[in-house]
Structure 1
């Protein structure tokens, strides 16, 4: 190791070497082996230890966003220096050791633990944007940009399923017409409603067939009565009798395509108010996408869980189930960061009130 370094630097170097030794011991059932393989010149074993150590450092950096490049470089330098020293016994041995050291340097010298990724941007839509697209999607609004009454009610239903249930675009497009279920709850004395998000077994005629993202995407979600009323209205009055089982149709009575859904949001984006466009620009965005609604739904639901008295860990696990994330997904914690970094909790509470009021206004239902 280098001499002539200050106390703090020396401590850091020794800490890196100690970490390497500790890792090698843990990988050998608690038995120290690094000294033995260095002394024996077992370069295959040394490469195995260094390779595992590199993976370990990368995993740690991914978890805590701490750069461990210096730890890695110190470990490689330590192995190099010790082997170099041990290789000076004879000129023949020195040649062999130097050749292997060059091989190690070639394999590992340019590799450092992967730098930590910057935190994901907060993509929950600003309140002004949500209010603007609420107004556009409302079938009764003068700002609604869609030409026919059927399109207005269909797109309104899609919008609310995405914003308030956080459904992915593929999940919305594979919902069957009977996805919403109902049962009597003896504890409350009221009917309860839920929606089944499952992979369909029906033949899909779409050229690019939507599907669930993974096995965790299959789930049951509670659905508010107001949204049930809207879905019933769409099915009874606007869906018609198409030759397929999917909930939402194209204008020709076929299952709605992913490209057609993208066009709906392109139209909404084109008709945003100047104030809403500025709010998007301030967030580094130029358009509203279906997945933006899922991001917004996630932050809003986390806010509701916490306001209802759940601690953060419980709220995160509930989020995992509700949004169909795997046990390894870091997405719930990303939204926890978004929740604490902004006033989105207040925004989403206000938007939920808008949601209920708009639904009742559109369906003619009284409070």
Structure 2
């Protein structure tokens, strides 16, 4: 199973996710694959791949009666490995049929692992090299196109209903009688989280990574005004969290311009409510530790519980059981895409800007999905007019404290 090595006694190069056997011994080829061949993987992606490989190791053990996958790879026994993959595919197909859960990512990880390891461990010369390369070409052509379950069309991407967003504005307002969070400090912290995810479209992991010093400022001599921006990046800071947040892709490292309202909200939180802690992270728990990924999700589960019945009905119509962190990112992307189009940008330019802002790769198809997303005209009113009213209410309760 994958375990996260996070001891401070370990050098940084030895920390992170690693696949181990039931006896706690690192799996040899899984470690070579993740730490040598795939060393650029982000921690969250590495954990998903290793979880898939762990399932493959277990499947091979059941099929052949012993934990022998590492030996089969070392011997470059391509015939035996193919048999193991066929058995694993059958297992995944049965699971997919029984649970209606997509198993493609697990299968893709297993196939890539076997192909990469055969190339690595089966390195040879002469006739054996030609024989191995021919087998690998056949392997790639056959197994990469197989899937454990039928491909289903992705559900349409939609912003949260305007009624829900307006309701969330009311719920997260610190002085609201509907605010479900106990203390004033929690209310201001959770409001900041809500605004960062909704207005900037930050992913959950990106939000958890933020430091208090991630918010930057400089003077622009051209406009004679201060400019503010946010650095979205990873840092090597001895993160104590068991499930360490990470950036999803390399393009996730980016700089985002900040509105005056976000700058003001960050200042209110950091100057008045951020718990003193021995960590540089922006979002701190009541125990003076960096806020966990699970805690971020629980904030919106709690907010969902106190939504109005009308808001819950509108969520149900969209097939949503509640509000999640990623729903806020969807909403931000749908509206920003529409704004680019309304500004007269052609589709290609609008998609390019969206890729940069939301941290997608240059070839990502995500902007095209948002371009086709359903857009409720009243969302623009909630985004602008209702937001302005919300800000006015916030400014009236802005604490004037010196610390």
Q: TM-score, normalised by structure 2?
A: 0.60
| 1:304 aligned onto 2:339 | yes
User: Equivalent residue for 2:351?
Assistant: 316
Of residues 349, 362, 365, the one that matches 2:394 is: 362
- Superposed, 1:30-179 pairs within 5 Å as 117-179=152-214
Instruction: State the partner residue of 1:204.
Output: 239
Provide the residue aligned with 2:271 in structure 1. 236
- Structure 2 unaligned blocks of 5 or more: 1-141, 399-403
Structure 1 residues 312-366: Cα deviation after superposition (integer angstroms, max 9, x where no partner): 211111000000001121110000000xx3325x413432332333233213399
Runs of 4 or more consecutive aligned structure 1 residues displaced over 6 Å after TM superposition: none
| Distance change >3 Å, CA 118–CA 254, structure 1 → 2 | same
Equivalent in the alignment of 1:81:
none
> Residue 250 of structure 2 aligns with which residue?
215
TM-aligned CA deviation for residue 304 of structure 1: 1.6
Tell me the CA shift for residue 277 of structure 1: 0.4
Q: What's the TM-score once normalised by structure 1's chain length?
A: 0.66
Asked if residue 268 in structure 1 is aligned to residue 303 in structure 2, the reply is: yes
Alpha-carbon distance change, 241 to 160 in structure 1, aligned in 2, over 3 angstroms: same
1:207 & 1:335 partners in 2: Cα distance? 33
| Aligned counterpart in structure 1 of residue 376 of structure 2, from 327, 336, 343 | 343
Structure 1 residue 213: deviation in Å?
0.5
For residues 290-325 of structure 1, give each alpha carbon's deviation from its aligned partner in whole angstroms, at most 9, with x where no partner exists: 000000000111122122221221111100000000
Alignment CA distance shift 1:274-1:245 (3 Å): same
SS state of the match for residue 273, structure 2? helix
Would the alpha carbon gap of residues 211 and 111 (structure 1) be closer, same or farther in structure 2, given more than 3 Å must change? closer
How many pairs were matched up? Answer: 255
How far, CA to CA, are the matches of 1:212 and 1:348 in structure 2?
30
Root-mean-square deviation over aligned CA pairs = 2.3
Q: Deviations over 1:79-129 (max 9, x none)?
A: xxxxxxxxxxxxxxxxxxxxxxxxxxxx89x989x9774243223100001
The DSSP-based 3-state class of the residue aligned with 1:183 is strand
Unaligned runs of 5+ in 1: 1-106
SS of aligned partner of 1:220: strand
